[in-house]
Structure 1
Amino acid sequence: TVARAVNPAAEAALGKPIVVLNKSGGAGAISTAFVNAAPADGYTFLYGAENPQLHGVMGVSDIDYGDMYPINILGRGVAVIAVPAASKYKTLSDLLKDIADNPGSVKMGSTGPGGLPSTIGALISNAADFKVTAIPFGGEGPGLTAMLGGEVDFMPAGISAAAEQIKAGKMRALAVVNPTPVDTLPDVPAIIDTIPEMGRFLPWGPFYGVFVRKDVPDDVKATLTKAFATAATDKTFLELMANRGNVVMNMSGQEAVDFLAKWQQVTVWALQDTGAAKVSPEKLGIARP
């Protein structure tokens, strides 16, 4: 994982061991609550992904990253729109035309409301004619396997989940959900080439970061920020991120705060507009982007 990849470099930068505790459950709600309940001394911090930014609108938790301080946004994932290699869809335009001509008949692999595939579907729905039938599976891996078995026609998925089978010729990527092509799949076009309106939502993707309680002392925040800024340049960490198709961000301070706010605005309102949100972003004070 991203956390275990950066951890040795962070230990070296801090000059102290870091014990990683797995607090799984609630799509990050349990680990986020654990860190927020710990003393505000900086000795307990969170390796977290994007999920808490959706907890409010999904009715999972009242805590999101607006309640915490971002030490470092280490990087983000990039998604692709994948189809089986034998699919009749050779381009994203082919897929979109079939969806427009046959509303609701094209099946999209999903991982349920709030997951990466459904969120990307929601974003596209705000930029193009995109009435599909979402079929949920227990993760991107099972969904992609089901797609290869013909159960669904296409699936948005992280490059880290799909790249191996794309490179093996079992799947084809119609587009990367990014403003530009990416090094991992350099020949795959950016989604904005076909749907320019998607540009207002990008860059978008799952992200990975380090967070502490807001009331941790400023000098402690500064020490952690410096250590993780150094750790995020570690060769082993950079290689892992590249191999997984992730984009290294190494972002902190106000830039990180602004990134988190925009990501949340874009995502929760896309979920709201497609009926996936359980609580209105407006009720939570999240402005429409």
Structure 2
Amino acid sequence: MKRRTFTLSAAGAALAGWHGLGQAQGWPERPIKLVLSQPSGSGPDAMARMITEPLSRKWGQGIVIENRPGGQNAIGAQAAARAPADGYTFYFATAAALVTNAYLFKNLPYDPKRDFVPVGMIGKVPFALCVNASSPLKTLQDFIAAAKANPGRLAVANEGPKTFSGMMTRLLSSQLGIQVNSVPYVSVGAAVTDTVGGQTEAIISDVPSVAQMVKAGRLRPLAVTTAKRVAGWESVPPIADVLPNFDYAGWVGIVAPVGTPAAAIQRFNRDLDAVLLDKEMAARLLAIGPITEGAGTSEQMGAFLQAEHTRWAALTRDIGILPE
């Protein structure tokens, strides 16, 4: 992706912001809508409601969560992209919605690169490779050795070939030079249940989804997908110990329709950063998913999105995933 893509989107939003600056000076003057691509009660929904509580208090305005699930995030993303760019609709976005969908689907009803302007990051969600607690596999090296000894027989549960966990399964197999039996599930809950029950030997999943079973001693984590060890999981090594520079995580952030007044974006970014840097809030978020380091700036998020597009374009090409 050309480096200018998000820069131009941000510049367009800034120019539009000059026209709406008078309106945005007192922003927000009415309730705000935050669109999600996930259903009520989901992990992202819980995160969104957690951070909007203090933001609502700061602004003295309600924040309405609008759940628009389905279509591999496309329904919610399209709704947010087509909303009025007046500073009163924002999108709680995932890596799938803003990056990976671009390389998995030929025809999306929205443009992940051009329809949104960055507001701020919320946090990254690490994934982990886990096995049943009774498994003889104690380490990542054991897992690799077992897969090489029995090509294609080691069953690894994930959420499907075009999900983060499915792509991590394929990437890991490719880079380690092993063959596993990738078993797709319609939900991460079902995948966890079958791995605990021994129907599959292993699972690749986001850390929050397996944390309870790990804590209960039903699953054993072998490695995490981030280059750094995960807080609370310090004894679990990163895959990067075996594959240098292996560093992948899901993530969530806030974006707005292109053309949103710059003053609204700046205020949202500033207050979101303050909320996320609160130690109590960071700990509450970590308990259900993302590791936050604050919102950063909208420019930093734009640069991050550029880098993610470059990386995922190469990843999907390397593991042979073509858009359909």
Q: CA deviation at 1:168?
A: 1.0
Partner residue, 1:36? 81
Q: Distance in 2 between matches of 1:66 and 1:179?
A: 30
Task: Tell me how large the CA RMSD over aligned residues is.
Answer: 1.8
Runs of 4+ in 1 over 6 A off after TM superposition: none
The amino acid that maps onto 1:248 is: T
- CA displacement 1:37-74 (0-9 Å, x = unmatched): 11111101111212212222222514215531111110
Q: Distance in 2 between matches of 1:175 and 1:255?
A: 29
Distance 1:71 1:34, change over 3 A: same
Equivalent in 233, 252, 273 of residue 185 of structure 1: 233
Aligned pair 1:248/2:292, yes or no?
yes
**8 Å contact kept, 1:2–1:208:** no
Partner residue, 1:128? 176
Distance 1:120 1:253, change over 3 A: same
Aligned pair 1:277/2:316, yes or no?
no
Partner residue, 2:61? 16
Partner residue, 2:151? 103
The amino acid that maps onto 1:137 is: Y
Q: Which moved further from structure 2: 54-63 or 135-144?
A: 54-63
Which ranges of structure 2 fall in alignment gaps of 5 or more residues? Answer: 1-45
The amino acid that maps onto 1:209 is: G
Aligned pair 1:232/2:280, yes or no?
no
Q: Distance in 2 between matches of 1:124 and 1:262?
A: 20
Partner residue, 1:209? 253
Q: CA deviation at 1:155?
A: 0.9
- CA displacement 1:216-261 (0-9 Å, x = unmatched): 1222221221121222234553222221252103233222112222
Distance 1:245 1:16, change over 3 A: closer
Partner residue, 1:219? 263
Distance 1:66 1:237, change over 3 A: farther
Equivalent in 120, 138, 145 of residue 72 of structure 1: 120
Partner residue, 1:264? 309
Partner residue, 2:167? 119
Q: CA deviation at 1:143?
A: 0.4
Partner residue, 1:2? 47
Distance 1:234 1:20, change over 3 A: farther
Q: Which moved further from structure 2: 180-189 or 84-93?
A: 180-189
Q: CA deviation at 1:157?
A: 0.8
The amino acid that maps onto 2:93 is: G
Q: Which moved further from structure 2: 90-99 or 51-60?
A: 51-60
Distance 1:195 1:119, change over 3 A: same
Partner residue, 1:285? none
Q: CA deviation at 1:215?
A: 1.4
Q: TM-score under structure 2 normalisation?
A: 0.79
**8 Å contact kept, 2:121–2:252:** yes
Q: CA deviation at 1:152?
A: 1.3
SS of match in other structure, 1:80: strand
Alignment of 1:128-167 (within 5 A): 128-167=176-215
Q: Which moved further from structure 2: 165-174 or 212-221?
A: 212-221
Structure 1 vs Structure 2: percent identity of aligned residues? 24
Which ranges of structure 1 fall in alignment gaps of 5 or more residues? Answer: 280-289
**8 Å contact kept, 1:35–1:45:** yes
Q: Distance in 2 between matches of 1:153 and 1:268?
A: 30
SS of match in other structure, 2:235: coil
